[in-house]
Each structure stands twice: as C-alpha cells, then as structure tokens.
A and B are shown apart, each in its own frame.
Chain A
Amino acid sequence: VFIMACFSEDSLAAKHVEVPHRQSVNQSMSPNPSIESILEKVKAGNFNAITVDEISLFQKESFKQSVPFLDNHFWRQSDKEVKNNTKGSLVRYVGMVYDMHDPEYYEGKYANKYRDYDYCYNMDETNAVVDKELGMRLPIVIVPIPEISDWSRSEMVGVKMEPESLGNSENLSFATIGDNNEKKRSSSLNMNEQDQNSNFSNDNPSIRRQRPRHNSKGAKIDYSNTNQSSRASFPSSLLDCSVLAKFYGADNAAEPPRHPKINELVEIFGITHNDPTEAEFQPVKAKELANISANIVPVDNDNNTTSHDDNVFSFDEFQSCLPDVPALPPPSVMPRVHVIHFNPIKSRDSLFVKEPSSIPNESDYTDDRLFCINAFSSILENDKVAGEALLLALLSTGEPSKAIVPGGSGLLGTTSLNLSIENKEKIKVIGKGLKKYLGQIEPNLVTLPFSKTLLNDGNLLPPTKQGNESCSNSPLQLPRGSTVILEQSSPTPGRGTEKINPTGQKSVSAIQSMMKCNAIPYHFGLYDLDFEADYRCVVLTTILPLDKPSNIANSCMMTMRILSTHDSSATQVHNLFESHTLQKVRNYLSKCRLVGSIALSDRQVCNSAEAEFVKRRKSHVGATSVNPVEEEDLHRWFTLARLEARSRACPFVTVQDWNRALLLDDAMKGSLK
C-alpha cells in the first residue's frame, strides 16, 4: 500500500523560523578616513570596522597606488609587516573575471566577514546551523588579463614589470607566506575542496589537485596541451597569479552580492587569505613551469620588445634560458581575496590616452591616420588598401545597439578582416611582422594558429563548464576589445589530410560565430549560452574566400587579398618601433575608439546609400553573377563608413566617409578578382 498525500501550502501551518537579529553594518562615519586607518584595522584583523567612508577611498587614484599590488612578487617581498601578518593583507588586483562558482555560505556573518574561514573543533554537524548567523558570498575566479602586453600592463596596473626580479629567489621563504603558522599540510586538497561548491567532488577521491596552467608574460599560451582534464586549472603568468575573489552583498538586505560579469576587467581591493597549511610547497622551477604549459620567450632588453618564436609549440629550446624561479603562490592553492571594493574597468582605452597640451584638430587625426596606414602597409607588403583595412579593423569597437543587424548580437561596428596571402611562407613573414608590431600597440594580442589538427584535437574549443567544475581553459575566452590573429599554420606532418571531426566542427562554428555575431557559445552541460566576444579579428590564410565558401575566413566582414607592390613612391616607415612613435599610434587608436557611438544623421549619406544600393543591384539584373549585391553588402558599407568616421575621431558619418568606404570596399573586392 502506498498512499501519497499532497498538500498545498495553504493547508499547512507556516513554519516558525527564528529570524536572527541582523546587526547593522558599520555605517558610522570615520572622522578621518585614510590609508593608515584602514591598514591598522586590517593589521588588527578588525575588518568589519572598515567604514563606508574608508571604502570610498578605493575610488581615488592617489589612494590606489599606496595599496600593494597582488602579483607573484608580492609574496616574496621582504616587508615583514606584510608577510608575517597572519590576519591577511590589504591588496589591489587587476584581472579578468574568468569563472563564477556557486554562492558560499559562511558562519558568523559579521565576525567572519573578509576571512576565508575559521576552524571549528568538535562542531556538532547535526545542529551546526542552529543559533548561527550565516552569511553569503560569491566566489569568482579572476585571472591575469590574457596575453596582456607589457606597456598595457604598466598602464593598467601601475606597477612596472621587473623581469630580472623573477630570477632572484634567494630572499624567498615559504614559511613566512601569509600565515606564519607552518603546519603539516594536507596535500590532497584542491581548490574546489576548500570551498563550499564541491558537493559532488567531496566524496570522490579520484579527483585530485591539478596544477594551474601558466602563460608567460607577453608570450603565447600553449593551447596544444589544453584538454578536458585541465578544467580545474586557471591561466596565470610568471608575473601574475590567478585569485579566487569572494564578493559580499549588502549587509542589510537579502540581495545577492554585487559582482562583475564574466570576461569583464576589474580592479579589486581586498584582504588576502592564503593558508599555507593547505598548500604544497614543492618549489616549482621555471623549467617545470614551462613544461606545464607555457611558451616562455626571453625578453630582449635592448629594444624592450618581446620576440616570439615562429612555432608556438616547440618551446623546449627556451627552457635552457630560464632561471630557476619558484612559482608563487604555491600551485596547490589559489590565493583568496576577500573583496572590500571593486571598480569595473569599462574601457581600457581611457587609461591609455595621454592628453596633449592642446586640443587636437581634425588635421592631427588625418596625419595620424595616414601614419598608421603607412605603418601597417609597410608590414603588409606596402599594400595601402590592406593597411587601411587593418586600421579600420583595429578601430572597430562594439557599440551596444537594439540589434540593428537582424539576428546580430546587438553589437554594431565590430568587424573582422581576412587577409588572403599568396603562400604559407609569406603568411609566416607577414604574421611575424604583425605580431611584433600589434603586440606593441594593442593592449592584448592573441595569436591562434588554426589547422585541422589543432581543431580536431579540441585546442580551440570554446569554454566548457560542467556542474560545479571550473571553466575549461579556452583560448577563446578573452576580455572585450582583445585583438585576435587567426593564422593558418602548416599542418602537422602526417596529420594534414584528415577531415574535421565533430570536435573540430564545434571549434569552427564557435570561431565563425565569434567573427560573424560577436558571440561565442560557452557550453554548460546540457545547453550553450552565448557570451559577447567583441574581438578584433584578423585572419591570415592562403585560401581565397571564393575557393571554399565554407572556410572560416569567409565569415569575416572584410575580405581581401594582399597584393605586394614594389612602388618606389610608397612611404617607408623606418621608425616603427621607436617609443614616441608607438606612443603616438597607441594614443591615436585609443582616442578614436573612445569616440563612442557613430551616428548616421546626415540625410545626404542615407540618400546616397539608398541610390547606390539600388544602382548596384540593378547592374546585376539578368547577369548570372557570382557575387551579387545583397543586404549584407549594405550593412558592410555602413560599417566601413562608420569606421572611416571613427578614424577621424568624428562622431557622425559624412558623405566623404561614405564615398571612402565604397572605394575601399571596391578595392578589396577588386583584389580578389
């Protein structure tokens, strides 16, 4: 006999719940909010006493610089005040939001705020929650900005890179990191096991700690080792570490913690917690680190540039150049930062603009524009059209819109450029030049070699997250405004003839979606979710788009073939890598990107566009044209016209911009014939 009785809530007496008295937050005004007062409270472990006034200090630029920046160097500085402090230290950190975990509940809503946890001996697990005040916080993984360039890091972080300090490990003392209490470590703990979001894995001994993946500063990440088993790892570099930041909600309201979104850049201020009792202090040598994942490239100090190797996957030869440096913090433990305050970095360009003494007029922009086109074309075999196209591609930036382009991601103004190059040797040369130069002018530049082998091996898969696991390490997870070079690499010997398998097809479809819709589908178990991917893509390939219509490169908005010219009148730019020249280009690009939304207010432009569209359509009537004018063409012309306006830092499109866009489009189409 099985009897089921179902009741609605109406028929049930409401359960009486003892509502704990909510303490008021520390809203009191501090008489003189200062860095000293905050540091004193942090030193004393009296985190809860930090007032609202003091928190507001974190928005001030002058204050920011006085807070130590959390990088790998932080852990081995000689300041005993910092490293011997068992309570934690106040730090600042800049990175990209990489992954979010399930909310975490902690005991002692006020007593344990900004602390990772206390140990409770002989806690009665059966009645643990009774008479306790539980608080909720949201753990978020923040990683160093992928492939950030040296100059961009200096501007954003405000801390100069000190590569020589990496080799200086003699001052290092593991025992004094974070907590002074050196205890026997429990090596079987991994990051997940320490936090509340590991309900499934808790009882599963088969899941063990995995080392984090590293990428060297300014160097490319080795994606050849990326596989499904490396989900619990996070990108980091020799300079910067990943952190697990814990965000707290408002104390006096039952609302979820305010927090940044995935892939957003953020500056956080918080209190560290790095318990060495849970860490494994095997010193990790840089050589070993390189073996883990990274392609570490020695820094050429003479011209302050980083030289990249042609083949990203053969890094063995570099290992001999590396000093033996310990990887700190220990790879077994990711540092926790309890966030007191965070500032989202909405636009990186505003950080890079150096205001000139006088307000620039339009001719200044024209000069800069011309200089950039010449500089780019000198890399692209003196092809001025390619130079201009590259400039527009680099200037493109997503503008939120009401999905003007049907089915689009809601972004307007982004574009991608496909450069068809004669042969693979030339791809190598041009690719090298582009990487070297763009690495100096773009905040972060990612080079993704693509071939059937790499696609089939799942190296370019979009991020995947299943259950409470961490996001898989994907090269396609980047912050807004990243520059991506997709380079068709030579196939691996003996493996070039296979067909693209389902894994490869997933990658292809993700890359196509990235270029066409500015969105990448992240896989979450049973469903995919589209995440904004406002990247500037440049594809280098030997395939003409018309040869293979289904090729990745065909998803690009601008497609052209590089025609090498040996024109003696072509302006040669010899001072490409001089610091003032680089600064000039960076400044120009940032200013143009900061213009904002480009409006189409001139009726004359609209009329010209209508007339041109009808005229070009008409010219195809009756013809069995391979390339007839379609809706997409008009959208492309408008995008080019808007980018032309942006290249003059002008917030609206003029007829000249429209005409220039059409000329460029015709020139690009002409190059394909």
Chain B
Amino acid sequence: MDLVLKREYAILHPDFEEETSTSNPIQVRPHNLRALSHMRQLDPLKIDTLISLRGMIVRTSPLIPDLKIGAFRCTICHHLIETLIDHGHIAEPTLCPNCNTKRSYRLLHNRCTFANKQMIRLQETPDEIPPGETPIGIVLFGYDDLVESVRPGDRMEITGVLRAMPRRVHPRISKCKSVFKTYLDVIYFQNLGASGQKEGLGKRTDDGGFSEERIREMKALSRMPDVYERLVEALAPSIWELEDVKKGVLCMLFGGRNNDTVPATLNTPTTTTITDDEGELTTAPPVKRAFHKRGDINILLCGDPGTSKSQLLSYVHKLSPRGVYTSGKGSSAVGLTASVVRDPETRELVLESGALVLSDKGICCIDEFDKMSEGTRAILHEAMEQHTVSVAKAGILASLHARTSILASANPIDSRYNPRKTVVENIQLPPTLLSRFDLIYLILDHPNIERDRRLANHLVGLYYETPTVVTPRIPQILLKDYIAYARDTIVPELSDLATQTLISGYLEMRRLGHSQRSGTGTISATPRQLESLIRLSEGLAKMRLSTEVTRSDAHEALRLMKVATQAAATDPRTGRIDMDMIATGRAQVERQSREGLNTALKEL
C-alpha cells in the first residue's frame, strides 16, 4: 500500500523525489478495524493478517538499530557493494565482480543504513483479565516514527500484523523448534485514554467506543426526571444511607470540566511525533504551560471507624475508569508518584508509575489518609492542584501527568471523632492539604435508637437466603458506561442563570461570616469554594448528559457544599462556619485570641 500511494503521489507531484530520504516518507496506517481481537483468542489463523488489539503498555526497550541496507567492501580491491535486507536476511556477496576474489567482503558498519526499532510489551488491562487468571501479553515491534511514541502505563489500541517466527534451539544454531514465538509489527498506535475500559458492548463505533444502541439507552436514561435519584440509588446499594456523601461522590465520578488545551506532551521529547488522546498523530510543540483549571473534584471522608468509608472507597475504585485504590499507611512517596527501577529483562533504568500516575484521568482512592507520612503528603500538594507529579531520581527528571480526583478517607487521631475539637485537630492533617478538598464529609456514628433499628433491619436483611438489598434500577455495568460516556463526551457550559445563582450563593456564604459577628468577620467561603461550586454544578449537569449547567444544578451544588462544609468547617467553640479552620488550621476566634494575647504581652 505504501508503494501504491507513493507512486500515486509521485504522479500528482512530479517534483517528489523518492530517494531523498532513507525512511519511508509516505506510509499507510490503517486503523479502526471492524473487529477487535483479544489477546487470549488469537487464533493461529490470524498470523500474517492485520489485527487490532487493546491493552496496556508495560515495558519499552531502548532504541534498537535495525539493519536495512548492508554495506560490504572487498578487502582486496576495496570495491563497495550495498545489499538490501530481505525478510530479516542479508545476502552477503560471495564474489567480488571487480577482482574476482571469493569471500573477500567485510561488512562496514559505519556505511550501513539502520532504521529505528523498538520492542514493546503489551499486557492485558485489569478489566479484561478473566477472574483467577494472570494477565497475558504480546511483544510489539514499532519502527521508525513509532519508536518512543508510547510510554509504560498507556492504554492503547494497536493495529498491526501478527507474525510468528520459529524458535531456534540456540541463537547460533540454525536448528529450529516447531514452536513459534509471536509478535505484532505495529502499524498504528491509538491512545485510548480513560475510555480504554469500555468493553463488552458489542461492535465498537467512533462515538466514544459505545454502540449506538448503548448510547440510545444512556440518553433515554438521562432524560428521565429522576435520573439523579436513580444514580444515587445505584451507587453502592449495599451501603446504608449516606445519601449526601453518595451524591458528592457521584459528582466526583462525573467530574467537572477540565480547562486544559495543551495536549499530553509533558513527557514527550519535543520533536517526536506522538499520539495524542484523540488518537491523531501530531507533532508536539515545545512544552508550554497554558492556563489550567482543574475539573476534578477531591473529596475527603472523615469520621468514626466502622462507618463504611473504606467500603465506599473500595466500591468507587472498581466503578471508576482508571480507578486505583491504595492505603495511606502502606504508601510511600514513590508508591504514589513514580519510582526508578531496573527493568529485570532489559536491565535498563525505567520509571515505574505510582498510584497517582496510574489513575491519571481517573480516581485515586486513598484509605487511611491520616496515616500517610509527611513526605508522602507533600507530593499530594502538587498533584491535587497542578495535576502533575515531578520525579528527579537516578538522573531521570520527569514531570508526569496526574489528572486524578482523590477520594480519601481518614480516621480521627483519637480513634473516635471528638466533637469538641476541630476537623484539623481531629485528623491532624495539614490545612494546606485539607483546603484542596472540594468536599469534606464528616461521617459520625451517633447511636440513635430509631436509626439503629433501621440499620439493624437493613443488615439482617442482607443475610436472608434472598438478601433484601434493593436492586438498583440502573445495572452496575450501565452505571459504569454512563459515567465513562459522560466524562468523555459531555462538556457542560454554565448558563447565565446558573452563574447568577452561584455568584449570589457564594456571596451569601461570604456574608454569613460577617453577619454573624459584628466587627471583623470570619471567613466562611473563599474563592476555592467558588471553584468547587462550579465543578460540582458541572458534574451535576453531566449526570443528565446536559451541555448546559442549569439553575437547579447550581442550587444542588450549593446545598452539597453547605452539607459538607457545615459539618467540617463549623467551629466547635462558636458553632459558626469558619473556613479559616480548614485554610489555616486555626479558627478565626482562636487567631483573634492569640493576637489579643500577643498584644497584651507586648504591652506588658
């Protein structure tokens, strides 16, 4: 196909010089094949045919020079001959036509022509692996401009030709075994991004990877008046109550709108041809920092033990595309970011991605957040606001994307939540980190007879022969697809009415601090809260697959914010909402009393 296209191009452009470049300037790259093959079901009949596979890149080799044209020189008369490689074999000239000497040729390495080649290992993604089995993989060979175009951790759809090659008994012995090794000669890399998890939905289409039937089903769901309630009901149905927490988590799953126009180029050499998220091959411009407004919502669940926090985290990470679950206690800074390890196969130093990098464009669930070490927490400052993590180890300097929402859970330092203390005092988290959470939920376990009775009834019902768990009206797989579809395709805009509502709501929150106290007021809302409100309302609009954020979305966002903030940022001494407690770790009253004390001491 390359040749045909080249000829056609030469006819159209007579000035096109075919031999100017050693690499092939015109290449045909078929992709989007109708059928997608599965690594476990690669029928031997597919050998030497064009196939398409999905998986995760787990390892890349360094660049391998691949001999294309061999240059031989006669040792007697210095006659030079160039020979093209054919199917991996090079025919060494045996007789010199100049001096008629036999077997006098020697290969000149510096006159040979080499092409770039890279060996890549593709492995099944976790969602594709059948239960109780280990992942399988396949080796890919990328050539020329496909070299260094993928990184470990990328979820790709690969189009290429499946090859099989007999195994030699020994590399230096021509005897072969009747066992073949298989590999794929890559023709096209397509980055799947977060939507790489859409599978098992029949024939794929270009519309976000879902079939038309599935999209119709999702749109029908979005038009239902009670879609919000249905989604809440479908989220972790076995976890009792916690409706508002579930609503906040849903907003996080759908996410706000990421205002980031710079393509994924941070780690890519500036001159290389890369594949961006849309699957198009583009030449990356030099890295430049555009204005970036995060759309990902971070949530902290804080409260008494045994209140289903961990269960909720465990549920969310399974539901979310690219969800990663980690425990703060067992995590180190490198475990969250990236570590430099020696590849056991190639013996090269490679970056092994950590939880935050692996959950790029997904959700990172961190349990026992309070038990994280200081060093590890420091990493999160950059990741939660800038959405990158920087690595400087073993001579490798890299800035990796970590566009992830963080759902964290923390237990109070005294095991039980002490209502007489502030949130910061209870969970001992630095305020700089705490203020980066959009929603902070306090989940407290207060014994209450009526509530306990209902809880007992619910728990006992789970143990019946036919458990009395309410079957959600939205099946799990549909919920998963719905979230993935909304995240990928819906970009909501704030309507004028919603903007006005948000502004007035924000001003109201600000006024709350002033109105409650004469003189210097407490800070009951900061611009960070306004940004959070926008993200929440955008998430709510996405739940309806709507491209417009309505007034009701804004109202609901304000309500969610109030529910979360009210509990978390209420000063136990005054009973008022004080954002200073979260932003600085000290309540306004405490600060004032300290200032008063300082002044008094100075006067003395």
A and B are partners in one complex rather than unrelated chains? yes
- B164 to A: closest C-beta gap in Å: 5
The answer to the question of B575 belonging to the interface, with a C-beta cut-off of 8 Å to chain A, is no
- Residues of chain B lying within 8 A (CB to CB) of residue A125: 88-89, 165-166, 176
Q: Are A15 and B132 in contact (CB under 8 A)?
A: no
Q: Are B330 and A508 in contact (CB under 8 A)?
A: yes
- Residues of chain B lying within 8 A (CB to CB) of residue A250: none
Q: Are A506 and B330 in contact (CB under 8 A)?
A: yes
- Residues of chain A lying within 8 A (CB to CB) of residue B48: 17, 129
The main secondary structure of chain B at its interface with chain A is: mixed
Q: Are B126 and A527 in contact (CB under 8 A)?
A: yes
Instruction: State A206–B347 Cα separation when bound (angstroms).
Output: 9
The answer to the question of A505 belonging to the interface, with a C-beta cut-off of 8 Å to chain B, is yes
- Residues of chain B lying within 8 A (CB to CB) of residue A549: 415
- Residues of chain A lying within 8 A (CB to CB) of residue B136: 100-103
Instruction: State A201–B171 Cα separation when bound (angstroms).
Output: 12
What is the size category of the interface that chain B forms with chain A?
A: 35 or more
Instruction: State A133–B123 Cα separation when bound (angstroms).
Output: 26
- A603 to B: closest C-beta gap in Å: 10
Of A256, A467, A614, which is within 8 A of B453 by CB?
A614
Q: Are B456 and A6 in contact (CB under 8 A)?
A: no
- A78 to B: closest C-beta gap in Å: 32
- A113 to B: closest C-beta gap in Å: 11
Return the CB mask of A180-222 against B: 1 if under 8 Å, else 0: 0000001011000011111111111011000000000000000
Known: A107-B180, A527-B126, A618-B452. A1 touches B25 (CB 8 A): yes
Q: Which of B89, B132, B315, B331 lies at the interface centre, i.e. has the most chain A CB atoms within 10 A of its CB? A: B132
- Residues of chain B lying within 8 A (CB to CB) of residue A29: none
Instruction: State A465–B179 Cα separation when bound (angstroms).
Output: 24
Q: Which residue of A lies closest to B5 (CB)?
A: A5
Q: Are A203 and B463 in contact (CB under 8 A)?
A: no
Q: Are A465 and B134 in contact (CB under 8 A)?
A: yes
- Residues of chain A lying within 8 A (CB to CB) of residue B9: 3
Instruction: State A529–B134 Cα separation when bound (angstroms).
Output: 9
Q: Are A200 and B119 in contact (CB under 8 A)?
A: yes
Q: Which residue of A lies closest to B324 (CB)?
A: A527
Q: Which residue of B lies closest to A188 (CB)?
A: B170
Instruction: State A222–B555 Cα separation when bound (angstroms).
Output: 63
Q: Which residue of A lies closest to B325 (CB)?
A: A528
Return the CB mask of A600-637 against B: 1 if under 8 Å, else 0: 11000010011001100110110010101011101100
Instruction: State A103–B310 Cα separation when bound (angstroms).
Output: 38
Q: Which of B427-470 contact A (CB under 8 A)?
A: 445, 447, 449, 452-453, 455-457, 459-460, 462-465, 467, 469
- Residues of chain B lying within 8 A (CB to CB) of residue A403: 238
Q: Which of A6, A12, A101, A108 lies at the interface centre, i.e. has the most chain B CB atoms within 10 A of its CB? A: A6
Instruction: State A109–B334 Cα separation when bound (angstroms).
Output: 48
Known: A105-B164, A202-B181. A19 touches B452 (CB 8 A): no
- Residues of chain A lying within 8 A (CB to CB) of residue B5: 5
The answer to the question of A324 belonging to the interface, with a C-beta cut-off of 8 Å to chain B, is no
Q: Are A117 and B447 in contact (CB under 8 A)?
A: no
- Residues of chain B lying within 8 A (CB to CB) of residue A402: 467, 469
The answer to the question of B183 belonging to the interface, with a C-beta cut-off of 8 Å to chain A, is yes
Q: Which of A1-49 contact B (CB under 8 A)?
A: 1-9, 12, 15, 17, 19-20
Return the CB mask of A390-404 against B: 1 if under 8 Å, else 0: 000000000000111
Instruction: State A106–B166 Cα separation when bound (angstroms).
Output: 9
Q: Which residue of B lies closest to A517 (CB)?
A: B314
The answer to the question of A525 belonging to the interface, with a C-beta cut-off of 8 Å to chain B, is yes
The answer to the question of A599 belonging to the interface, with a C-beta cut-off of 8 Å to chain B, is yes
Return the CB mask of B152-190 against A: 1 if under 8 Å, else 0: 110000000001111101110011111111110000100
Given A128-B165, A196-B181, A204-B346, 9 new contacts (CB under 8 A):
A118-B177, A118-B178, A133-B44, A200-B61, A468-B121, A509-B329, A526-B358, A614-B456, A628-B445
8 cross-chain pairs, A with B, having the tightest CB-CB distances, nearest first? A261-B132, A407-B311, A630-B306, A134-B44, A126-B87, A509-B330, A107-B178, A406-B311
Q: List 10 A-B contacts (CB under 8 A).
A: A6-B29, A6-B31, A103-B42, A126-B89, A129-B164, A198-B181, A526-B58, A601-B464, A630-B306, A631-B306
